[in-house]
């Protein structure tokens, strides 16, 4: 999922219209339309503001992680640290299995 898709999903998930979102962060009402058409990618220069608005990490918006907030990342990391190497390997295999089942 690309950055723009993540932003659009966050708008929808938070029950906002695109215009409400744009007004809230101080962008003009045609910005999303321009982003979708590829006329500009101004969301990149506003990525910090967008992340703050939705309380997600910039890494999440950029697609570097699928975990929206750093706290969730830390919680998962802690869970993994508490596992034995064998348990971590089983978790890794399970995650690979789940990914392989997508779209089937």
CB hemisphere CA count around 79 (13 angstroms): 7
Residue 57's SS3 state is coil
Q: What is the pTM of this model?
A: 0.64
Q: Where are the alpha helices (DSSP H) in 38-103?
A: 47-54, 58-61, 70-81, 85-100
Helix, strand, coil: what percent of the chain each, to 5?
Answer: 65, 0, 35
**Averaged pLDDT in 10-residue chunks for the chain of 104 residues:** 90 92 91 88 88 90 81 66 81 86 74
């Amino acid at each position: 999922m690309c950055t723009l898709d993540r932003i659009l999903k966050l708008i929808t998930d938070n029950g906002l219209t695109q215009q409400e979102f744009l007004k809230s962060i101080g962008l003009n009402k045609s910005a999303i339309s321009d982003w979708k058409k590829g006329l500009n990618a101004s969301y990149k220069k506003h990525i910090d503001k967008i992340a703050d608005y939705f309380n997600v990490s910039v890494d999440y918006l950029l697609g570097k992680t699928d975990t929206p907030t750093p706290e969730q990342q830390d919680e998962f990391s802690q869970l993994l640290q508490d596992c034995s190497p064998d348990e971590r390997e089983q978790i890794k295999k399970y995650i690979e299995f789940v990914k392989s089942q997508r779209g089937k």
